[in-house]
Amino acid sequence: MEKILVGLKRVVDYNVRVRVKSDGSGVETDGVKMSINPFDEIALEEALRIKERGEANEVVVVSIGGSEAQQQLRTGLAMGADRAILVESGDLLEPLGVARVFKALVDREQAELVILGKQAIDGDNNQMGQMLAAIWDRPQATFASKIELSGNSAKVTREVDAGLETNEVDLPAVITVDLRLNEPRYVKLPDIMKAKKKPLDVLPIADLGVDAGPAIREVSYEPPASRERGIMVDDVAGLVAALKDKGLI
């Protein structure tokens, strides 16, 4: 295999408590620690392991957003990716728009495998990988907990309610990964220094010639309601009565 494409999304770090802006226009990001989406980090780790086994020649990481996303791409390069591409866009793209951008990049880069996190921890949509496979008209394997490549096919094990399910897909293909696939490597200082010399191409989204405009307009944001204090009941009858009082049954 010549090339693997991996998506890296810039998100609020999973250790940070998310806060809504005072005007309700979005999530507060000023002064907030931002990181690579954890599922995307797992996707990159798997791509690097595939390359280290000699089953791929190049790993390219991709992010969509403003210039600040270069920070996450540099982290990806420090982990071991060969090149990075930033598709510069001032708008927050919906999953379908992201899928269209990735389809254009797949055609441009002639990638034989796209590995993505199954979802981003900000939107939790779990849509982009499936949409990309549909637009690309190639097979998909989602929620991978194990990936094995053999020639022009990939065998993907995924967790389902009944246990483990194994699918085999022909390459090129799209694979989305789950938490149990691997543990991403720790980035060391020498790797961070080396990453500064690796190529990072900035590509305006307009140059791809895709329609990535939003179809949904977000009107406002608000935090979830505060959790009510619990009450103690003496028996089942008391529980039923309490639930009836709240109109839950």
Among residues 129, 74, 132, 84, the alpha carbon closest in space to that of 107 is found at 132
Does the structure show a pLDDT above 90 at 133?
Answer: yes
Distances (CA, A) of 157 to 111, 140, 166, 181, 228: 22, 12, 4, 9, 41
State how far the Cα of 63 lies from the Cα of 40, in Å rounded to an integer.
Answer: 11
Which domains are assigned to the chain?
A: 3-217 (3.40.50.620)
Give residue 32's identity as a one-letter amino acid code.
Answer: V
pTM to 2 decimals? 0.87
Conformation bin of residue 53: beta by default, left when phi > 0, alpha when psi is -120 to 50: alpha
Please, are residues 44 and 184 in contact by the beta-carbon 8 Å criterion? yes
Q: Which two tokens stand for residue 116?
A: 């993505």
Question: pLDDT digits over 196-219, tens only?
Answer: 999 999 999 999 988 887 778 888
Q: Enumerate helices (H) and strands (E) in the chain, giving the number of each.
A: 6, 11
Predicted pLDDT of residue 28: 85
Position 229 scores a pLDDT of: 82
Q: What is the mean pLDDT of residues 53-81?
A: 96
Mean pLDDT confidence for 133-158: 95
What confidence score (pLDDT) does residue 24 get?
A: 83
**Model confidence at 54, in pLDDT bands (50, 70, 90)?**
very high
- pLDDT of the residue at 92: 81
pLDDT of residue 236 exceeding 90, the answer is yes
Report which DSSP code applies to 234: S
pLDDT tens column, 81-94 = 999 999 999 888 89
What are the backbone dihedrals phi and psi of residue 84, each rounded to the nearest 5 degrees, phi first?
Answer: -135, 145
SS3 11: strand
Preceding omega of 172 cis (within 30 degrees of 0):
yes
* DSSP letter, residue 20: B
C-alpha torsion sign, points 92, 95, 97, 99: positive
Give SS3 for 248.
Answer: coil
pLDDT at 161: 87
3-class DSSP assignment, residue 31 = coil
pLDDT band for position 103 (cuts 50, 70, 90): very high
